[in-house]
């Protein structure tokens, strides 16, 4: 099962990805988590990523794609994976398509103004992150719609209901 989660910042992708990963016994791969850990450990990758993350900007495609490519080769991905926070640009989606096939893209939709303020965020960072999402990531919806992979999920329901709807969408893919 090769699954992508899409949705605006703060909609609850991370939580859902965690629950789905547990249910299906496949890893959740969050590029945001990978970068945060690298920043904490002050690795070469962390040093590169930090400047972009702090501004609410995207880490350059070549870096992210390399990391995901490497991660997907690991043994625990043999039965599938859930991608949380990747792809975020059309370039990333195209690269992913060259690395592996995808079974479904769960698109978490919310009309609500989602709250994305993190403790260490400045208001301009939040604004920038939303702008980047609209400009770079929303085109992915059409990209995957055209490939007949997009499954819209109403993220305004309770966490339990969103989880159930996501499980149904995965099971029918």
Q: Could you list the residues that contact ligand AMP (CB under 6 A)?
A: 9, 31-32, 35, 52-53, 56-59, 64, 85-86, 88, 92, 129
Question: Minimum CB separation from ligand AMP for residue 35, in Å?
Answer: 5
Question: Please, which residue, 122 or 168, has the CB nearer to ligand AMP?
Answer: 122
Question: Please, which residue, 54 or 171, has the CB nearer to ligand AMP?
Answer: 54
Q: Are 1 and 105 in contact (CB under 8 A)?
A: no
> What is the number of the residue whose Cβ is closest to ligand AMP?
32
Q: Which residue has the tokens 């904490």?
A: 40
Question: Minimum CB separation from ligand AMP for residue 22, in Å?
Answer: 19
Q: Which residue has the tokens 């929303």?
A: 138
Question: Please, which residue, 70 or 160, has the CB nearer to ligand AMP?
Answer: 70
The pair of three-digit structure tokens given for residue 111, joined into one six-digit string: 């009309």
Q: What angle do CA 89, 161, 29 make, to 5 degrees?
A: 35
Cα(95)–Cα(17) distance, rounded to whole angstroms?
22
**Bridge-partner residues for 4, per DSSP?**
83, 105
Q: Which residue has the tokens 């490497």?
A: 70
**Sheet of strand 81-84, all strands in order from the earlier edge strand to the far edge:** 28-30, 81-84, 2-6, 104-109, 150-154
Question: Please, which residue, 123 or 160, has the CB nearer to ligand AMP?
Answer: 123
Question: Please, which residue, 1 or 130, has the CB nearer to ligand AMP?
Answer: 130
């Amino acid at each position: 099962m090769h699954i992508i989660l899409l949705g605006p910042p703060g909609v609850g992708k991370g939580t859902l990805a965690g629950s789905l990963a547990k249910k299906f016994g496949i890893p959740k791969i969050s590029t945001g988590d990978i970068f945060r850990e690298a920043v904490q450990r002050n690795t070469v990758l962390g040093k590169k990523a930090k400047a972009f993350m702090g501004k609410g900007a995207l880490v350059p495609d070549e870096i992210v794609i390399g990391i995901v490519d490497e991660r997907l080769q690991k043994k625990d991905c043999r039965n599938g994976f859930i991608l949380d926070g990747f792809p975020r640009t059309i370039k990333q989606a195209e690269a992913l398509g060259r690395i592996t096939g995808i079974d479904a893209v769960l698109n978490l939709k919310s009309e609500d103004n989602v709250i994305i303020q993190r403790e260490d965020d400045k208001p301009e960072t939040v604004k920038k992150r939303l702008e980047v999402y609209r400009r770079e990531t929303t085109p992915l919806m059409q990209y995957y719609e055209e490939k007949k992979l997009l499954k819209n999920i109403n993220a305004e329901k309770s966490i339990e209901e969103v989880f159930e709807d996501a499980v149904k969408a995965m099971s029918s893919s």
